[in-house]
Amino acid sequence: MAAYPASSELCRRANPKDANMTTQLDTLMEKLRSVEAEIEIEMAKRREEMRFHLENRKIVFEQGTSRRHREIKTNAIRYLIDVGPLVILVAPVIWSLIIPMVLLDLSLITYQAICFPVYRIPKVRRRDYLVFDRHHLAYLNAIEKLNCMYCGYANGVFAYVREVAGRTEQYWCPIRHARRVRGPHRHYHDFVAYGDADGYKKRLIPLREELREKSSDS
């Protein structure tokens, strides 16, 4: 693998003013990663408070907690009565979206299998984004569990697509937009500033190399 200077180092060489902005951005991104790590720690504490833990990826609740969950479960018939006839009437609309989502899912699998080896980009692990575990909750009835599985699949597919698209964008067009982007993917902040022609020419190849290294560690 060819050795390239870090993207922030390239920016410092090109323009001292851009260097200051890049250094500040690097500092903010480091703070963001630190906050994300703290969130993970707090989530672990929250699991303890909810009386469950993970054993080899299996969720295990304390016996008394499971019993309490079963006691507060809403009967499926009662649940349908409570949601109302209009919600039931429009249910086929939301469920019809499963067809394009499955097609999108299959398309991404095919795209990765064909193109990512050519680009030498590590493939996104689909199982990291599609998580199904809420159907194990004893306080959910059959309808609620089915709905949770559907929502988990939908949001998992979109997150999976987002990561695949983000890696693709860093490979082909790692340029930030002139206008603010709401909720950008995790690679976006490493992109070249809008209008920085010299930076784009200098950093395109290094950004591709960084993508290969960064993605293989994720």
129-161: pLDDT as tens digits: 999 988 888 899 999 999 999 999 999 999 999
Q: How many CA atoms lie within 13 A of 141 on its CB side?
A: 10
**14-71 pLDDT, tens per residue?**
455 555 656 777 787 778 778 877 877 776 666 566 666 566 666 767 777 777 888 8
Whole-angstrom distance, CA of residue 152 vs CA of residue 175:
31
Each residue's pLDDT tens digit, 76-126: 999 999 999 999 999 999 999 999 999 999 999 999 999 999 999 999 999
Confidence of residue 2 (pLDDT cuts 50, 70, 90): very low
Q: Of 67, 38, 40, 72, which Cα lies nearest the Cα of 51?
A: 67
* Helical spans, DSSP H, in the chain: 7-14, 16-49, 63-71, 76-83, 85-96, 98-119, 142-172, 197-217
CA distance 45 to 43: 5
Contact 171, 206 (CB under 8 A): no
CB 111 within 8 A of CB 164: yes
Query: What per-residue confidence (pLDDT) applies to 5?
Result: 44
- Residue pair 206/5 in contact (Cβ under 8 Å)? The answer is yes
pLDDT of 3 higher than 50 = no
Return the pLDDT at 199.
93
Task: Categorise residue 20: left if φ over 0, alpha if ψ from -120 to 50, beta otherwise.
Answer: alpha
Instruction: Give the rounded percent of residues in the chain with a pLDDT score beyond 70.
Output: 78
Instruction: Using the predicted structure, report yes or no on whether residue 164 has a pLDDT greater than 90.
Output: yes
pLDDT interval class at 7 (50, 70, 90): very low
